[in-house]
Structure 1
Amino acid sequence: MPEAGKPESVRLAVAQTPVRHDPRDGEALRESGREVRALMREASTQGARIVHFPEGAICFPGKLVMSVNGPDAVGPADWDRCQWAVLQSELAAIAALARELRLWTVIPSVHRLTGPNRPHNSLYVISDRGGVVTRYDERLLSKTKVSYMYSPGVSPVTFDVDGVRFGCLLGMEIHYPELFAEYEKLDVDCVLFSTSGTSGNTAVQAQGHAAVNSYWVSLSVPTQHSATAPSGIIAPNGDWLARCPADDSPSVAVVNLDDSSEAAAEAVTYARPWRREARTGLYTEHQVIDPRSEDRTAAF
């Protein structure tokens, strides 16, 4: 492992793809799989070591599509409607290509559990050998997701590629700074955040999390939202390093995660270690007992 606060370098690609909402449509699932694999090849051509996809890259099942009370009312999801065999076949093809390209691939998907348990909303981490090395399950779900569709996850997940440590978040978890702070404590160098939808401040929040925690953040979103918040990678000081086109096109943006830029180096080398030190209680020895300190109404 590299020295704390001094990650090695790895080349990361972030993708944006069209998101489809009907898991009953086997051909739509296959088309999504083909698009994912095309972008994997593009990322590999650009020298990426790891590629990161948005929530729903294969399918983001719609709440009304899945509802037993649908199509006009939200209700419990009927997961028997999902073309599980097709979904698993596409994921297997993605894993096979990851092995062929020697490309780590982070791909969101529904993870089936034993009935009658609802599935997880997950991120699979597929290594460059084509095997699933870990899986992140969304923990802080939306009200609809947790009420009608998914079982929540229970823990953070990290994994290392070439000495760089990654953490995973998903769905609407951009709104929970404690999850990003948790990954800072786990020594991650980059958080991979996948979502199927963005609000006006999603990109700004992602920049804030990167700057506050002094690590990289990869934001992967559907092409449908690229006009307002295209996929991109944020440096540890909160600046965008690269972004996909804002034109609804499937694409990847690729950067090296290292501290070669002055801004990134300052955030990684100085800001993050100092914040950690500041939280250890170092101020206690500098505190004083003084009447003018204790009297909150003391005159100027």
Structure 2
Amino acid sequence: MTAQRNLKRRVRARAAKTGESYVAALRHFRPTPTGADMPDTTQTTLRIAVAQSTVRDDPTDADGLRASAAEVRQLMKDAADAGARLVHFTEGAICFPSKFVMSELGPDQVGPADWTKAQWAVIEEEQGQIAALAGELGIWVVIASVHRLPAPTLPYNSLYVVSDQGTVAARYDERTLSNTKITYMYSAGATPVTFEVDGYRFGLALGMDAHFPEVFTGYERLDVDGVLTSYESSGLPGRETVATEVRGYAAANSYWISLAVPANPSGPYAGVIGPRGGWAARCPADGMPAVAVTEIHREDTLSPLARDWRRRTRSRITY
């Protein structure tokens, strides 16, 4: 029996045992830095959607929270209607809490956040409805929200991964917090997070992560096919450069990046970037709430041997 036939037999055996599709089972035999079998080169594509949506900054406003969540659910339906298996939302999709609204010294002075003011019951109810709809539509959803921790510990700024079964499959907590976030508002996350959809592996980046190439190089070492990056792009000057930064990360690491940002006529606009740094799909430049849909594939990514060469070369660089 040839090595190729032996690999196919092993993949089919795993698929039969776990109930996974052939493509999903094949993923477990892809070569990694620790060494694994060479996979079948036949790959399918995966259709994903990225959204730009309205971002509100007052978590004490129950009506505003419900309006944001209703918009998210409509965009989920739009993505599902377009055949997407996954839809990715911006930082602050349900709410991006203002440092002034939350300040216990506010509203004119930044200070420690008083999270008791947030409408937690509404936030959690809307999260539950989003998860339930994901199950109904059979679509994966990556959605940002605040993750509450027992007082007095500050919450996390998080990305939730909701499976096509309507359950939370993973959660990523922002690691590279700004000075204001780390001082007054949030606890810092500690680890990278990956998850898989139909045999494609994704990493997650949130907020200030977008300004740190180390985050994206780290995901390359985890053998991802792409990184879903959620970023609240309005406010401080200079944030418009995020699209340029993440395009560079995509090209430097030869993987896909989905950039989800708020709906904003002045840009930047949400879109999906290919492994060579070019836009594969973008939301409308009018900045209105919308989704952009594209199919991702592995044809343009680095071969396993090229990835291994990059990793070995980086290990020899002295900084």
Q: Does 1:38 align with 2:83?
A: no
> What is the aligned partner in structure 1 of residue 306 from structure 2?
274
* 1:229 positional shift: 1.0
Q: Does 1:244 align with 2:283?
A: yes
Q: Is the 8 A contact 1:9 1:163 kept in 2?
A: no
Q: Give unpaired runs (5+ residues) of structure 1.
A: 260-264, 285-300
State the one-letter code of the partner of 2:254.
S
* 1:280 positional shift: 2.6
* SS across alignment from 2:158: strand
Q: Following the alignment from structure 2 to structure 1, what is the Cα–Cα distance between the partners of residues 143 and 204?
A: 11
Match of 1:81 among 109, 114, 117: 117
Q: Is the 8 A contact 2:49 2:79 kept in 1?
A: yes
> What is the aligned partner in structure 2 of residue 288 from structure 1?
none
> What is the aligned partner in structure 2 of residue 149 from structure 1?
185
Q: Does 1:65 align with 2:98?
A: no
TM-score normalised by structure 2 residue count: 0.83
CA distances 1:132-154 after superposition (whole Å, capped 9, x unpaired):
01100000100000000000001
* 1:10 positional shift: 1.2
When residues 114 and 210 of structure 1 are mapped into structure 2, their CA distance, relative to the original with a 3 A threshold, is: same
CA distances 1:245-279 after superposition (whole Å, capped 9, x unpaired):
111211000011114xxxxx3x4144x74252244
| Two-structure CA RMSD over aligned residues (Å) | 1.9
> What is the aligned partner in structure 2 of residue 229 from structure 1?
268
Count of matched residue pairs: 276
Q: Is the 8 A contact 1:9 1:162 kept in 2?
A: no
Q: Following the alignment from structure 2 to structure 1, what is the Cα–Cα distance between the partners of residues 302 and 241?
A: 28
TM-score normalised by structure 1 residue count: 0.88
Q: Following the alignment from structure 2 to structure 1, what is the Cα–Cα distance between the partners of residues 216 and 315?
A: 25
Matches within 5 A, 1:185-200: 185-197=221-233, 199-200=239-240
Q: Following the alignment from structure 1 to structure 2, what is the Cα–Cα distance between the partners of residues 117 and 73?
A: 22
Q: Is the 8 A contact 1:26 1:83 kept in 2?
A: yes
CA distances 1:218-268 after superposition (whole Å, capped 9, x unpaired):
0000002x5331000000000100000111211000011114xxxxx3x41
Q: Following the alignment from structure 1 to structure 2, what is the Cα–Cα distance between the partners of residues 282 and 181?
A: 10
Q: Following the alignment from structure 1 to structure 2, what is the Cα–Cα distance between the partners of residues 159 and 188?
A: 9
Q: Does 1:116 align with 2:152?
A: yes
> What is the aligned partner in structure 2 of residue 202 from structure 1?
242
Q: Following the alignment from structure 2 to structure 1, what is the Cα–Cα distance between the partners of residues 224 and 116?
A: 37
CA distances 1:172-192 after superposition (whole Å, capped 9, x unpaired):
111111110000000110100
* SS across alignment from 1:253: strand
Identity of aligned residues (%): 53
CA distances 1:20-58 after superposition (whole Å, capped 9, x unpaired):
000000000000010000000000000000000000000
Q: Is the 8 A contact 2:87 2:141 kept in 1?
A: yes
State the one-letter code of the partner of 1:30.
R
State the one-letter code of the partner of 1:277.
W
* SS across alignment from 2:240: coil
Q: Is the 8 A contact 1:126 1:133 kept in 2?
A: yes
* SS across alignment from 2:301: helix
When residues 165 and 95 of structure 1 are mapped into structure 2, their CA distance, relative to the original with a 3 A threshold, is: same
* SS across alignment from 2:312: coil
When residues 15 and 282 of structure 1 are mapped into structure 2, their CA distance, relative to the original with a 3 A threshold, is: closer
State the one-letter code of the partner of 2:101.
V
State the one-letter code of the partner of 1:132.
V
Larger RCO, structures 1/2 (Cα 8 Å, 6+ apart) = 1
When residues 269 and 275 of structure 1 are mapped into structure 2, their CA distance, relative to the original with a 3 A threshold, is: closer
State the one-letter code of the partner of 1:46.
A
